[in-house]
């Protein structure tokens, strides 16, 4: 199975076109050769018509092309009529997506008024009770029949009203039926979506797209790759477009890094027709990150032909074309992938010594390397107990710098290797090619990853290098996250070096944050936090800040902060503790996916969460600053 033509060249996946609204009157066409579309979601109560209209207009003003609004009840779905009518009265024709969970009757109301209805196969016709049950083939077939009976009316209405659907599977809300047959796996997510797609196709309805969202970027990447490969297996008329997103990514740098890893990796491989960066922040800020992320893909990819990557609303240049790049030595490599795209497995390497204080490769954690210039900036600030600190200096390492476009020899596997600066290839392509050529040579040398392969010039001293790349910090963060995160998700990399971020302390912190987001290291508290929407039962931004203020010193503890129960238990399955809105003003606390304490007044909930962490011996007192 393959999810893209090649791991070395960019070639955008060709899909069916899905029409959303009237393309001549504010609507969009996704898929085909159309630009990638940017999407976001309202954070207010769906019954507050004026605020919904206000937030929609604010999103459209910054370039949002699809606006999603939650419809938790039939009453909320019915109010979509008023929201859409007021938007159209104000000459705003952006397509509206109704977000449906649990209630098919709400979907049947929403489809009357909006251009797209998003359904979650995990809870549209099922409830999640974490029940264990073995299904015979006959029982499973009967369950599928029941689902078809509930979903078919929406399909028929979508055909009649010329609407579109999004079949959106979430890692956190797979049904018990899927969980018991396939487990909590990418395969389960894909099969859950395909069940609903088959019902659509049975009625000759094709105006839909897929999404496979998870709060774990590596899981999300595996799911989308597997989905696309499965669609290819199903047949040439199964080329449906896909929506990309890392759900519950959080806020600040962490949210941007997780999203850049998950979304950026797939965009670089030619996948994705609509995107959303889910941040626990005001929605317009999501569009800024979407635009910045899309704009970077052109410089991070090399195309196999003339078809370029042009994000919507962007004036970016197209990817570097193969006829402008050195010829890749494709012989023997076009069929050879340097990683398993559907099952994460870290590339096997021997363990080697970087210096007297650090080793890498083998079972060692991925190490953080800095340039001497960065070391000079940060060394005086490092304390012995600090978790964020340089582990090696690049100029002091015994590292072989290789041009993977040329033939090379490596005499031993204990030699650390990297890609030579100045190689005229995007970094992802170059490191994948290096891993593939090492594999062909029968070598498993540890690899040092770099976020950029810029040309370098001597700066007057032989031990100093001057980079020709100066990036704005927010762009340096996204580019490093896409490059390093993508390769780590491929299982490639034993140490990393960040140079696109010019600030010494910032580049060091960014390296550790990327490793944490990619699941390679845990040096601080990890948060899974959903963006706000109309279902949210408390102010997510305020509460997230309050929880962080009390818990951010808890190294290795993972805390989920969920505004409602839709994805709560599932997305918290690998979290240590969960803080979930259970009712207005009331919070439920979880340990893993198990609710432990119910209906705690919101004013007390953060301290009760701390008490719960203490009860489970995960609490340590913060050190005095």
Could you tell me if 464 and 568 lie in one domain? no
Task: Report residue 123's pLDDT band, with 50, 70 and 90 as the boundaries.
Answer: confident
For residue 38, what is the domain's CATH number?
3.20.20.20
What are 80's two structure tokens? 């979509």
**DSSP characters for 177-245?**
HHHHHH-SSHHHHHHHHHHHHHHHHHTT---EEEEEEBSSHHHHHHHHHHHHHHHHHH-GGG---EEE-
First to last CA, the chain: 53
pLDDT at 393: 97
Same domain, 548 and 496: no
Residues 6+ apart with CB under 8 A from 105: 74
Residue 621 included in any domain:
no
Q: Are residues 195 and 80 in the same domain?
A: yes
Q: Are residues 501 and 540 in the same domain?
A: no
Asked if 257 and 199 sit in the same domain, the reply is yes
Q: Is 302 exposed, middle or buried (0-12, 13-18, 19+ CB in 10 A)?
A: buried
Per-residue burial over 2-40, b if 16 or more Cβ lie within 10 Å, else e, is ebbbbbbbbbbbebbebbbbeeeebbbbbbeebbbbbbb
Is residue 398 in some structural domain? yes
Residue that is written with structure tokens 């240590």 in the block = 576
- pLDDT bin (cut points 50, 70, 90) of residue 113 is very high
Instruction: Tell me if 538 is assigned to some domain.
Output: yes
Say what the pLDDT of residue 333 is.
56
CATH at residue 569: 3.30.413.10
Mean pLDDT of 233-250: 92
Q: Where are the beta strands (DSSP E) in 5-94?
A: 17-20, 28-31, 37-41, 66-70
Q: How much is the average pLDDT of 272-277?
A: 97
Mean pLDDT for the stretch of residues 113-135: 82
Q: Is residue 338 part of a domain?
A: no
- Give the per-residue pLDDT at 533: 78
Q: Which of 22-26, 370-374, 607-611, 615-619 has the lowest mean pLDDT?
A: 22-26
* 82 plus 161 within the same structural domain: yes
Percentage above 70 pLDDT, the chain:
89
Residue 463 has pLDDT above 90, yes or no: no
Share the mean pLDDT of the chain: 88
Q: Kindly state the average pLDDT of the residues 112-119.
A: 98
Same structural domain, 431 and 578 = no
Of 517, 547, 566, which marks where a domain is finished?
A: 517
Q: At which of 454, 482, 517 does a domain end?
A: 517
- Residue 387: how many CA atoms within 13 Å on its side-chain side? 15
Q: How many domains is the chain built from?
A: 3
594 belongs to a structural domain: yes
570 pLDDT exceeds 90?
no
With respect to residue 331, please indicate whether it lies within any of the assigned structural domains. Answer: no
* Claim to verify: residue 381 and residue 460 sit in the same structural domain: yes
Closest CA to 609 of 312, 600, 399: 600
Of 284, 306, 336, which one is at a domain's C-terminal end?
284
Residue 302 belongs to some domain of the structure: no
Question: What confidence category does residue 568 fall into, taking pLDDT thresholds of 50, 70 and 90?
Answer: low
- Are 549 and 478 within one domain? no
Q: Is the pLDDT of residue 172 over 80?
A: no
CB atoms within 10 A of CB 229: 17
Each residue of 290-346: pLDDT tens digit?
Answer: 999 999 998 898 765 433 333 343 333 344 544 444 455 544 555 578 899 999 999
Mean pLDDT for the stretch of residues 164-188: 89
Question: Is residue 125 domain-shared with residue 236, that is, in the same domain?
Answer: yes
Give the residue from 276, 271, 267 showing the smallest Cα distance to 239.
271
Domain contains 341: no
Q: Domain check: are 511 and 536 in the same one? A: no
The reported pTM is: 0.90
User: For residue 65, how many C-alpha atoms fall within 13 Å in the half-sphere facing its CB?
Assistant: 23
Query: Is there a single domain that holds both residue 188 and residue 151?
Result: yes
Domain that holds residue 440: 352-517
């Amino acid at each position: 199975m393959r999810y893209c033509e090649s791991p070395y060249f960019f070639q955008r996946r060709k899909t069916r076109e899905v029409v959303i609204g009237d393309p001549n009157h504010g609507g969009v066409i996704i898929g085909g050769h159309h630009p990638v579309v940017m999407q976001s979601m309202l954070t207010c109560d769906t019954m507050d018509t004026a605020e919904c209209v206000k937030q929609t207009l604010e999103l459209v003003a910054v370039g949002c092309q699809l606006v999603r609004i939650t419809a938790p009840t039939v009453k909320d779905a019915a109010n979509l009529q008023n929201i859409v009518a007021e938007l159209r009265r104000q000459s705003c024709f952006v397509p509206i997506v109704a977000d449906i969970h649990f209630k098919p009757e709400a979907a049947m109301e929403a489809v009357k008024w909006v251009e797209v209805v998003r359904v979650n196969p995990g809870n549209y016709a099922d409830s999640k009770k974490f029940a264990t049950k073995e299904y015979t083939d006959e029982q499973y077939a009967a369950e599928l029949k029941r689902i078809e009976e509930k979903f078919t009316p929406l399909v028929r209405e979508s055909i009649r009203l010329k609407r579109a659907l999004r079949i959106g599977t979430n890692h956190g809300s797979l049904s018990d039926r899927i969980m018991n047959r396939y487990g909590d796996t990418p395969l389960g997510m894909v099969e859950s979506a395909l069940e609903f797609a088959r019902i659509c196709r049975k009625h000759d309805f094709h105006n839909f797209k897929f999404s496979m969202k998870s709060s774990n970027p590596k899981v999300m990447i595996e799911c989308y790759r597997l989905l696309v490969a499965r669609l290819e297996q199903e047949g040439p008329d199964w080329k449906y477009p896909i929506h990309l997103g890392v759900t519950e990514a959080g806020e600040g740098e962490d949210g941007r890094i997780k999203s850049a890893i998950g979304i950026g990796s797939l965009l670089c491989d030619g996948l994705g027709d609509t995107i959303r960066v889910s941040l626990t922040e005001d929605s317009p800020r999501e569009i800024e990150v979407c635009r910045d992320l899309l704009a970077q893909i052109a410089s991070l990819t090399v195309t196999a032909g003339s078809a370029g990557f042009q994000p919507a609303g962007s004036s970016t240049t197209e990817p570097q074309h193969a006829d402008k790049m050195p010829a890749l030595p494709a012989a023997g490599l076009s069929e050879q992938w340097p990683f398993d795209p559907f099952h994460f497995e870290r590339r096997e390497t021997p363990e080697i010594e970087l210096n007297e204080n650090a080793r890498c490769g083998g079972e060692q954690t991925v190490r953080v390397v800095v340039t001497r210039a960065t070391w000079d900036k940060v060394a005086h600030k490092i304390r012995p107990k600090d978790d964020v600190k340089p582990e090696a200096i690049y100029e002091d390492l015994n590292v072989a710098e290789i041009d993977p476009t040329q033939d090379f020899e490596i005499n031993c596997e204990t030699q650390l290797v990297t890609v030579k600066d100045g190689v005229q290839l995007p970094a992802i392509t170059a490191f994948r090619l290096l891993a593939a050529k090492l594999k062909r040579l029968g070598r498993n040398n540890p690899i040092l990853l770099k976020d950029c392969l810029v040309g370098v010039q001597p700066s007057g001293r032989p031990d100093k290098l001057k980079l020709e790349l100066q990036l704005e910090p927010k762009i340096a963060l996204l580019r490093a996250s896409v490059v390093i995160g993508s390769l780590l998700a491929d299982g490639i990399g034993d140490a990393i070096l960040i140079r696109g971020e010019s600030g010494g302390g910032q580049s060091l912190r960014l390296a550790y944050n990327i490793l944490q987001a990619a699941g390679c290291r845990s040096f601080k508290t990890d948060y899974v936090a959903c963006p706000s929407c109309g279902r949210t039962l408390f102010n997510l931004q305020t509460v997230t800040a309050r929880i962080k203020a009390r818990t951010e010193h808890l190294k290795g503890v993972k805390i989920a902060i969920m505004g409602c129960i839709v994805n709560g238990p599932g997305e918290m399955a690998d979290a240590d503790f969960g803080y979930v809105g259970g009712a207005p003003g009331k919070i439920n606390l979880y340990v893993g996916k198990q609710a432990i304490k119910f209906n705690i007044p919101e004013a007390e909930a953060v301290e009760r969460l701390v008490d719960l962490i203490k009860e489970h011996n995960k609490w340590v007192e913060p050190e005095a600053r």
